[in-house]
């Protein structure tokens, strides 16, 4: 398989970076082709703006998604976006590797999502969920956080269920664009655990990586269950 790892951590010596490095070595040893987009290393620009388009359909008023469609059709997307979009479209699996910031991704990764998930290519019209532009590809979140597992154990936990915290990413972004979303890998309490615990955690991550083909995707809407106005048929 062709695998793209989008990595977003500012510290090369971090445990999150160790997870990225482990993923590269594990997946390559398993025979996969791996590309890495290290967003801090390439000084990725996270700001979506008019500068992303060399040609505009409406130069007087910026509707970013519409200009994405126009620029892609005209070959007028910014070079950094085009390069990342090419990597994304070539990938069978995309792994997003990051530290959890305020229950979400770091700004630099959010900017990758905003700029690279191009309207008209990755989604648009009624092309979302199982009919999305990235249908047939898989995605997985792998992330570090400071909290402990029991803090996300259920609805009554201090932070609620982990799946609810990740909903905007797993459903509203990845599944929406057509990706089959694999169960995430969460590295809990990372700043506070010892070397042995970190070693065990990396071993657990390695096992999940080796089972990418076997993991059952999470369940998200199927467009056949909705009418043209997106009302449920039942």
Mean pLDDT, contiguous 10-residue spans, the chain (234 residues): 97 97 98 98 98 97 98 97 98 98 96 98 93 97 94 89 94 98 96 94 97 95 91 89
| Token pair for 53 | 């388009």
Return the pLDDT at 232: 93
The pLDDT of residue 126 is 87
At the topology level, CATH places domain 2-225 in: Rossmann fold (3.40.50)
pLDDT of residue 73: 95
Using a 10 angstrom Cβ sphere, with 0-12 exposed, 13-18 middle and 19 or more buried, the burial of residue 16 is: buried
User: Closest Cα to residue 38, out of 15, 13, 17, 14?
Assistant: 17
Residue spans per domain, the chain: 2-225
User: What is the pTM assigned to this prediction?
Assistant: 0.95
């Amino acid at each position: 398989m062709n695998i793209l790892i989008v990595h977003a951590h500012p510290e090369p010596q971090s445990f999150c970076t160790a997870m990225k490095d482990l993923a590269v070595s594990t997946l390559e040893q398993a025979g996969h082709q791996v590309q890495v987009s290290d967003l801090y290393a390439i000084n990725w620009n996270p700001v979506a703006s008019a500068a992303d388009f060399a040609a505009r359909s409406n130069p007087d008023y910026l509707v970013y998604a519409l200009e994405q469609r126009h620029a892609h059709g005209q070959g007028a997307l910014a070079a950094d976006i085009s390069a990342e979009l090419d990597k994304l479209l070539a990938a069978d699996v995309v792994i997003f590797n990051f530290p959890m910031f305020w229950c979400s991704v770091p700004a630099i990764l959010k900017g990758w999502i905003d700029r690279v998930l191009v309207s008209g290519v990755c989604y648009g019209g009624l092309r979302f969920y199982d009919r999305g532009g990235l249908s047939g590809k898989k995605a997985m979140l792998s992330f570090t956080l400071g909290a402990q597992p029991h803090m996300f154990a259920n609805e009554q936990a201090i932070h609620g269920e982990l799946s609810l915290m990740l909903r905007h990413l797993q459903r509203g972004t990845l599944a929406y664009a057509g990706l089959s979303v694999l169960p995430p890998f969460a590295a809990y309490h990372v700043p506070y655990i010892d070397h042995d615990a970190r070693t065990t955690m990396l071993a657990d991550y390695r096992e999940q990586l080796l089972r990418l083909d076997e993991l059952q995707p999470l369940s998200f809407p199927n467009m056949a269950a909705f009418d043209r106005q997106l009302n449920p048929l039942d």
